Amino acid sequence: MKMNDITVRIGGQAGDGSLATGEILSKYFRRIGFYVATDKDFPSRIRGGHTSYAIRGSKKRIFSLDDRIDVLLAFDEDSILLHMDELESGGVVIFDSSRKDLEIKREDVRKVKIPLANIARKELGLEIIKNTMALGVLSKLFSLDSNIMRQTIRDSYKTKSEKIIEENLLAYEKGLEYSKDIEPMEGYVIEGDKVAPDTLLLMGNEAIGLGALAAGCRFIAAYPITPASDVLEFLSRHLPEKGGVAIQAESEIAAVNMAIGAGYAGLRSMAVTSGPGFDLKTEGIGLASMIEQPVVILDAQRAGPSTGLPTKTEQSDINHAVYGGHGDKARIVIAPGNVEEAFYFTFEAFNLAERFQVPVIILSDELISWNKQVVKRFDLDKLKVDRGKLELNPVSNEREFPRYDFQEDGISFRTIPGVEKGIHLETGDEHDVYGHITENASNRVKMMDKRMKKIQVMKNELFPSVVQGEGDVAVIGMGSTMGPILEALERIPREIKFIRIRTLFPFLDDVALHLKDVKIAFVVEQNYLGQLEDLVKLNTGFRNTVGIRKYDGRSFRPGIIERRIREVMGW
Amino acid sequence: MKMNDITVRIGGQAGDGSLATGEILSKYFRRIGFYVATDKDFPSRIRGGHTSYAIRGSKKRIFSLDDRIDVLLAFDEDSILLHMDELESGGVVIFDSSRKDLEIKREDVRKVKIPLANIARKELGLEIIKNTMALGVLSKLFSLDSNIMRQTIRDSYKTKSEKIIEENLLAYEKGLEYSKDIEPMEGYVIEGDKVAPDTLLLMGNEAIGLGALAAGCRFIAAYPITPASDVLEFLSRHLPEKGGVAIQAESEIAAVNMAIGAGYAGLRSMAVTSGPGFDLKTEGIGLASMIEQPVVILDAQRAGPSTGLPTKTEQSDINHAVYGGHGDKARIVIAPGNVEEAFYFTFEAFNLAERFQVPVIILSDELISWNKQVVKRFDLDKLKVDRGKLELNPVSNEREFPRYDFQEDGISFRTIPGVEKGIHLETGDEHDVYGHITENASNRVKMMDKRMKKIQVMKNELFPSVVQGEGDVAVIGMGSTMGPILEALERIPREIKFIRIRTLFPFLDDVALHLKDVKIAFVVEQNYLGQLEDLVKLNTGFRNTVGIRKYDGRSFRPGIIERRIREVMGW
Amino acid sequence: MVNISLYDRETPTWCPGCGDYGVLTALKRAAANLGLDPAKTVLVTGIGCSSKINSYFYSYGIHTIHGRAAAVATGIKLSNPELEVIIAGGDGDAYAIGTEHLVHIARRNLDVAYIVMNNQIYGLTKGQVSPTSEEGFVTITTPYGSYEKPVNGPLLALASGATFIARGFSGDIVQLTQIIEEAIRHRGFALVDVLSPCVTWNKINTYDWYKANSYQLKDHDPGDRNRAFQILQDDKFALGIIYKKEEKTFEEKVYRKYVHLPLKQLEVDRSIETIYEEFR
Amino acid sequence: MVNISLYDRETPTWCPGCGDYGVLTALKRAAANLGLDPAKTVLVTGIGCSSKINSYFYSYGIHTIHGRAAAVATGIKLSNPELEVIIAGGDGDAYAIGTEHLVHIARRNLDVAYIVMNNQIYGLTKGQVSPTSEEGFVTITTPYGSYEKPVNGPLLALASGATFIARGFSGDIVQLTQIIEEAIRHRGFALVDVLSPCVTWNKINTYDWYKANSYQLKDHDPGDRNRAFQILQDDKFALGIIYKKEEKTFEEKVYRKYVHLPLKQLEVDRSIETIYEEFR
Ligand SMILES: Cc1ncc(C[n+]2csc(CCOP(=O)(O)OP(=O)(O)O)c2C)c(N)n1
Ligand SMILES: Cc1ncc(C[n+]2csc(CCOP(=O)(O)OP(=O)(O)O)c2C)c(N)n1
Ligand code: SF4
Ligand code: SF4
Ligand SMILES: [Mg+2]
Ligand SMILES: [Mg+2]
């Protein structure tokens, strides 16, 4: 049936350990040489409420879930109610029947009922360990390599006590034991090379944190917010080792202004947030733009507006990232499409910020931020730090350094406090070349021209679109929709050109070129208003677009895209 | 030479009384039945620095200054340096030679030098009164009606002491006396009907304040900021008389949230600000949009980004007004083009806010906010208050009122605290019909659809564009550029269609219709990036636009527009 | 007396054992004791676990944005002083992102009660350091311990001009009910800081820890402002009413010279002719 | 000693007689006395008349946005603790829109001095009420008098954990110089509230008024925190150093376990391989 491509959804009440089990399973997949994609679904509350975690493992390079799941591991009734429909015909549901027995209606799937919790409680004295037991059942069903699984369990708990490791290993054995009479699934083959290649399994937020570290970012200020907090948390752990500072600020306004201060003082700095906090950073980003201050901002988008659905994904901050804030401003907005790009884009964001002396906004979304993918170990040798026109030994005879001197490319030399002969002012008021406030009209025009010129100059150095395929039908997407789009297109045996936009501001000219011979373009995005579609229309003049949009907070599945394209095209 | 259309620029150091003199002169113009347009130019500091005030009076209905001035009343040397070029050939410069004599180079203008300050000090014992003396000189030069002028002076100081009134009247007589040998200007006729019609002379900010009062707004919260503070100041004086509340909040964030609270509690409420403060209101406006809360926000635009040029005009917050804030949001953005519209739009803003239960943003600019124009007494009888679906006597048997019930037009019935049977929740989280938080996917879709539907529904009730003229060449503008555009077009004896856009979000379909047979459209706007032009392109698909932009903080003059059109068209 | 079930709404989704249950119960009891009319009461909250309390308490409720509840409440109360307006939220909401509004609502002496459920942690966002966390406190964002002295919310409110300051404990619902009742009854701004353990993320400041680190105020004169300042600097948490003073409320001052426009009267005096003179 | 003209920059555009001239002079003198190197000093300001001070004082300067100077300064000082970072601004900047940052910079005990030029009015925006305006004060936004009790900035800072609190007067440049010098020298967060008359918009709180309404602290032990709380509640303004305590600074704590990365060393350790284990 399905060769080396399997999706397992683990569902239960928060506290049932669905997430922990999923983590182990995804690690296992990586270790046998699979690629991984995951999707968390949990409510914005701390305990209780249905939580589920879908993990897909595949020998093929994947970036997102498939339409359907092969295994439903259900710790509670809700899992059955909510996810049974998703189960592939011929798949299997493993139901923990401890709390209650349940009649499961579908005839086309296999049903395995085990009172996992009861067994765990009675035989292991610890109910919560039931989740690791379930891994034993899975191992049996899919003939997983139990040695690798044991090692994975061991490693997963290695920051905990030896006791916990032992308990979990025991639970795993119990699971195997209880399923010794269970027949393995037919038609499924889950076989990697059993040798973990030199890869990493990590989520977008971790990749962003690593990218920042690798770029030499030494200052992060943030206020906690879902789904960006992980980056602050990751860097709080790792920055101090590197001589850097991570600070949880009193608000997002404080955070962005601290990051600006740090950048001004010469550290590569960053502030991470999501929608509501991104709104609050608007004024600060404007200051950075006006004083031509490098600073990197992450907006990990979630479903808005306002508090919206805090634990659900969306791509509806595009407009704010591109247009937000009063006045005409230079800025850069880039959007990685997968975990690997999240790393490299973050790395490059710090270079871009310093090279063009502008705020750089990394637009991620909840799905990318939380999706665990397998990536090749990052190649650091290829990554060069470019601090742009940072001048640490100016040889000026002037009493003040001409911080905003007019240069061909609009980019002036920059110094930082502590540098002799670098003394100057910086101000969000309009200013002259020394940074002194002036309201003079012709200076104003020259300074605006200078700052705005950068928008043109930087275009050559930003991330061009990635184009795949040819034809006069195009699909356009950005960010996390990459995964489902790729799979949808695989399923449609026609010529389709996929244009994945990676730079949103300034909008690059390549998109218009790619659209030259295109007759119809489907714009796939995770919002209501079609924010990306409008950007494309405005900047390319191409208007025969069809929006494929989703705004229920849940991520796209390939099938949605596939069906809509077929429907419109009559294919 | 010039019949009943005269522009006087009064310049000096701050403290020289240029503004006060200008106010009296503009009042005089109104009283003789003239229309008026003014433009203030002063630095962002309190004392010192060159300040000037240009007042144009005309029998013709005008909305802005002309290219050149007829009179330069110069209290200091800077006035000569900065504004002499602007003086019409055949015009007159009146120079206060007290501080210093100055050679004034131009031969084609008349020069009147009088040591005003010295005379005032010596003969009136009060130097600052020199400015009123200057009105005497002006009266003589242009044969102004001295009785009307005397009454205007008297009325202008009526809130001060009788002593001050007498001093100023005396100064006026002194001015007349000292200019008794001065010949009146040739070729100028300044003659109104000498009967003040039933008009008012007021600036945009005052019109906005009056509009709010007339609409029954009873709550304003604001944090001071140029050029919006006047509205807070005006309403601080007048709202209490009406049983309302004006509160200077601790910040713009506080202000918008207070206004939202007031709106929630049932008062028509408003928050006024400019660029930096508008940025800070972003999150709050998103909340209002999500909880479907009527609230009116004024953004009186000034030159950005960041602190920019705080006392200079610009139209560069269009993008933020239309696109600002995370998530997909319903809102209304309207832009009055003159002082009269500032009143009526403000009035209507409160109706729109309640009818569609959305935040309404009034986008003014510094020029409109400060420009004094003569308007017909407002016709209150025609203005109807419409509070929309406000339900004060719900007859529900439910324990909670279905505040977000689905209605045909997307607009639910609203109640306010204190109303029996109206109890419900409101939250910026996604919610069900009772306002209770829910993350359910299908509810999410229905609620998004409901809120977004309002964007379509409201389109019919917003301000359509005003179109004047016909032809396949169009000029597009919004806000304060109306005045200079109208005058520019008068000077070009060709068929040109002027489309003045008054609603920016949702963008109305009429603009595309008006552009149907147009071949080229000039988009006039006061910013660098062409924010209005982009809106037009995106929403109409019309792409053959030519931008006429200005971003030095100074307002347009008709000539700039005229020249550019002629140049491009080869006319 | 009203039955407290009048105030029942949704079943809370807080973690079992969360201190906020105690606060909810105390609030309901206080409301019942005072006979609050749900239709004339507004419970205004920010964002956080604690801020969900108006989903569980039956009255008008508005769950706003993080840190801004006090500003929204100011607009509500000023618009209709006849409403009973109660603010509630967490320590992050009130003492970090909301600091500004807390200070200014206190100095205005707006007649509202503000209940801060202080668990010394960020609950809803999963265990980050809070402004009230102790120095050295280890969390996911302070893996090497917090470097900051905690914000002392009640002290801040007192220094800002609040006219009622009290501290309660979710573990003592009887006293907490009294305190909340008093706070609502108080004419002026009342801050109630409630020690309300987060059983999920904060394993240090538990019920037992609070018991061991708090004490009951005895023979204390709440009118003594100097004493209040001292008490609030104690190492241990004083429980009870720490400060109380009658002063004119903001609403009284704002409406001093003018008759308040009753909300129901929606047809207001919209005439502006008398102002026209200014413009002639 | 350095000549104070070293710190001359632009000629101020403040109104003749503005109190801020006195502050500027005192700051220059203090800088000269301390021998501050302009290249290693950063004067961080917000927006307001007073915030223009870094246009007039020669050193690195950053004139930020309204109310946020303390946050920007935090980033600067943490990034390079070797810099002398001084914050300056107005009462609106510090005690209204900047309240939040003042409270939190104080509790962090960041080693910076914060000079607030308090004129009890909004100068630059032309005379609106300020958070420090007295109750009843008439301004263009409070035509019927202010309804709010003033914010007591130094008290707020003290309650927040500041380790140095002083008040000066622009009319007494000698004392003000000493105070500013001490504040800069102090290791930790130092708030200096300066009574600095706005001669244009505030006709009540004039030089004479301040003279009549302030007094010199005598025989005061700045180590006495309780006394400091009391002094700050006086009706009259106490002048001098009100509170001073040595505590670890934020930078010391943040970098406690780690060697600070000197700024000049721009090539940092960018290796991340050791972290890879987490992801396997
Ligand atoms: C502007 C903004 N920033 C951040 C968040 C994320 N957020 C939600 S609740 C919360 C803090 C929760 O802590 P606390 O206020 O103490 O409440 P608790 O959950 O502990 O009751 C944060 C940071 C948000 N919703 N909005
Ligand atoms: C976000 C924002 N809001 C408002 C303003 C307008 N503004 C500039 S200075 C100022 C206050 C000035 O008062 P204060 O801080 O006391 O300084 P002073 O001028 O009295 O020295 C205000 C409100 C602004 N620049 N930015
Ligand atoms: S996480 Fe903490 S604060 Fe939130 S509900 Fe659970 S116990 Fe309560
Ligand atoms: S307005 Fe006031 S604060 Fe501003 S410079 Fe003038 S006197 Fe000083
Ligand atoms: Mg908390
Ligand atoms: Mg001030």
Our answer on whether the CB atom of C119 is closer than 6 Å to any ligand 3 atom is yes
The model carries a pTM of 0.98
Q: Which ligand is nearest to the CA of D15?
A: 4
Taking CA atoms, what residue in A is nearest to D100? A250
- What's the pLDDT tens digit per position in A20-62? 999 999 999 999 999 999 999 888 888 878 899 999 999 999 9
- Give, in degrees to the nearest 5, the angle at Cα A13 between A11 and A18: 45
What the block records as the tokens of B443 is 């509810």
Per-block average pLDDT, block size 10, for chain B (571 residues)? 88 90 96 95 83 95 95 95 94 93 91 95 93 96 96 94 95 95 91 85 98 96 98 96 93 98 95 98 98 98 97 97 98 98 98 98 97 94 93 90 97 95 97 97 98 97 97 98 97 97 98 98 98 98 98 97 98 94
Q: Are B14 and B134 contained in the same domain?
A: yes
CB contact under 8 A, C258 and B241: yes
Per-block average pLDDT, block size 10, for chain D (280 residues)? 93 97 98 98 98 98 98 96 96 98 98 98 98 98 96 98 98 98 98 98 98 97 97 97 97 71 62 92
pLDDT for the residue B277: 98
Q: Are B140 and B233 contained in the same domain?
A: no
B193: exposed, middle or buried (C-beta count within 10 Å: 0-12, 13-18, 19+)? exposed
Nearest atom within ligand 3 for CA of residue C124 = 4
Smallest CA–CA distance, residue A136 to chain B, in Å, is 33
Q: Are B47 and B176 contained in the same domain?
A: yes
Question: What residue ranges do the domains of chain C occupy?
Answer: 4-249
Our answer on whether the CB atom of A228 is closer than 6 Å to any ligand 1 atom is no
- DSSP class of residue A302 equals -
pLDDT for the residue D263: 52
CB contact under 8 A, A327 and B303: yes
Our answer on whether the CB atom of A223 is closer than 6 Å to any ligand 1 atom is yes
What's the gap in Å between D201 CA and the centre of ligand 4? 7
What the block records as the tokens of A222 is 């943030």
Q: Are A186 and A225 contained in the same domain?
A: no
Taking CA atoms, what residue in B is nearest to C52? B437
DSSP one-letter string for C171-231: T-HHHHHHHHHHHHHSSS-EEEEEE---TTT-SSS-HHHHHHTEEE--S--TT-HHHHHHH
Contact of C100 with chain B, judged by CB distance below 8 Å, is answered with yes
Residue C144 has its nearest CB partner, among A44, A226, A240, at A240
* Nearest residue to B74 (alpha-carbon basis) of B101, B47, B56, B43: B101
In a domain, B451, yes or no: no
Ligand 4 atom 8 nearest Cα:
D18
- What's the pLDDT tens digit per position in C75-105? 999 999 999 999 999 999 999 999 999 999 9
In a domain, B542, yes or no: yes
What's the gap in Å between D121 CA and the centre of ligand 2? 10
- The strand pairing partners of C216, in sequence order, are C239
CB contact under 8 A, D75 and A258: yes
- What residue type is C32 in one-letter code? A
Residues of chain A contacting residue B286, judged by C-beta atoms under 8 Å apart: 276, 279, 304-306
Q: Are A56 and A83 contained in the same domain?
A: yes
Is residue A149 within 8 Å of A194, Cβ to Cβ?
no
Answer with the one of B382, B403, B420 that is the final residue of a domain: B382
Q: Are B140 and B226 contained in the same domain?
A: no
Helix (H, G, I), strand (E, B) or coil at C170: coil
Range of the domain at A487: 466-569
In a domain, B73, yes or no: yes
* Nearest residue to B204 (alpha-carbon basis) of B234, B184, B182, B225: B234
Residue with tokens 């935040």: B359
Q: Which ligand is nearest to the CA of C94?
A: 1
Answer with the one of B337, B362, B382 that is the final residue of a domain: B382
Smallest CA–CA distance, residue B260 to chain D, in Å, is 19
Query: Within 13 A of C259's CA, how many CA atoms are on the CB side?
Result: 6
What's the gap in Å between B337 CA and the centre of ligand 1? 42
What the block records as the tokens of B32 is 């003789």
| Interatomic CA distance for residues A345 and D227, integer angstroms | 55
* Nearest residue to A311 (alpha-carbon basis) of A370, A239, A364, A385: A370
- Rounded to 5 degrees, what are φ and ψ at A370? -105, -15
pLDDT for the residue B501: 98
What's the gap in Å between C90 CA and the centre of ligand 1? 8
Residues of chain C contacting residue B31, judged by C-beta atoms under 8 Å apart: 280
In a domain, B443, yes or no: no
List, in sequence order, every beta strand (DSSP E) within chain D.
41-45, 60-63, 84-90, 113-118, 164-169, 190-195, 214-216, 237-244
Answer with the one of A197, A226, A260 that is the final residue of a domain: A197
* Nearest residue to A168 (alpha-carbon basis) of A122, A201, A135, A119: A135
CATH number belonging to the domain at C4-249, selected among 3.40.50.1980, 3.90.1580.10, 3.40.50.300, 3.40.50.970? 3.40.50.970
In a domain, A109, yes or no: yes
Pocket of ligand 4 from Cβ distances under 6 Å: B 46-47; D 14-15, 18, 20, 49, 119, 123, 198-201
| Interatomic CA distance for residues D124 and D61, integer angstroms | 19
In a domain, A458, yes or no: no
- Residues 6+ positions from C169 with CB-CB distance below 8 Å: C22, C175, C176, C194, C195, C196, C210, C211, C214, C237, C239
Q: Which ligand is nearest to the CA of D125?
A: 2
- Give, in degrees to the nearest 5, the angle at Cα A304 between A302 and A310: 50
pLDDT for the residue A101: 84
Looking at residue A558, which CATH number applies to its domain?
Answer: 3.40.50.920
Q: Which H helix or E strand runs over B139? A: helix B130-142
What the block records as the tokens of C64 is 């706003």
What's the gap in Å between D95 CA and the centre of ligand 6? 10
Is residue A293 within 8 Å of A359, Cβ to Cβ?
yes
Looking at residue A328, which CATH number applies to its domain?
Answer: 3.40.50.970
Residue with tokens 């409101």: B426
Ligand 4 atom 5 nearest Cα:
D14
Q: Are B191 and B263 contained in the same domain?
A: no
A570: exposed, middle or buried (C-beta count within 10 Å: 0-12, 13-18, 19+)? exposed
Distance in angstroms between the alpha carbons of the first and the last residue of chain A: 26
Ligand 3 atom 2 nearest Cα:
C198
What the block records as the tokens of D145 is 């008098």
What the block records as the tokens of D165 is 């609190």
* Nearest residue to D73 (alpha-carbon basis) of D55, D54, D92, D57: D54
* Nearest residue to D124 (alpha-carbon basis) of C78, B226, C259: B226
C-alpha of B198 from chain center = 21
Residue with tokens 């509640």: D233
Mean pLDDT of chain A: 95
CB atoms within 10 A of CB B567: 10
CB contact under 8 A, C14 and A47: yes
C-alpha of D23 from chain center = 11
Contact of D14 with chain B, judged by CB distance below 8 Å, is answered with yes
- The strand pairing partners of A272, in sequence order, are A222, A298
| Interatomic CA distance for residues D161 and D245, integer angstroms | 10
Taking CA atoms, what residue in A is nearest to D8? A399
CB contact under 8 A, C159 and D152: yes
Q: Are B171 and B239 contained in the same domain?
A: no
In a domain, B304, yes or no: yes
DSSP one-letter string for D182-225: HHHHSSS-EEEEEE---TTT-SSS-HHHHHHTEEE--S--TT-H
CB contact under 8 A, B210 and C261: no
Q: Are A185 and A216 contained in the same domain?
A: no
Size of interface B-D (CB pairs under 8 A): 64
What's the gap in Å between C47 CA and the centre of ligand 1? 5
| Interatomic CA distance for residues D221 and D224, integer angstroms | 6
Q: Which ligand is nearest to the CA of A287?
A: 2
Contact of D66 with chain B, judged by CB distance below 8 Å, is answered with yes
What the block records as the tokens of D221 is 């032990």
What's the gap in Å between D96 CA and the centre of ligand 2? 10
Looking at residue B12, which CATH number applies to its domain?
Answer: 3.40.920.10
* Nearest residue to C20 (alpha-carbon basis) of C165, C204, C168: C168
CB contact under 8 A, B275 and A327: yes
Nearest atom within ligand 2 for CA of residue D50 = 21
Query: Does the structure show a pLDDT above 90 at C71?
Result: yes
Q: Are A92 and A219 contained in the same domain?
A: no
ipTM of the shown complex = 0.98
Helix (H, G, I), strand (E, B) or coil at C43: strand
In a domain, B409, yes or no: no
Which of B274, B439, B549 should one mutate to test binding to chain A, selecting the residue with the greatest count of A CBs within 10 A? B439
Our answer on whether the CB atom of D66 is closer than 6 Å to any ligand 2 atom is yes
How many domains does one find in chain A?
3
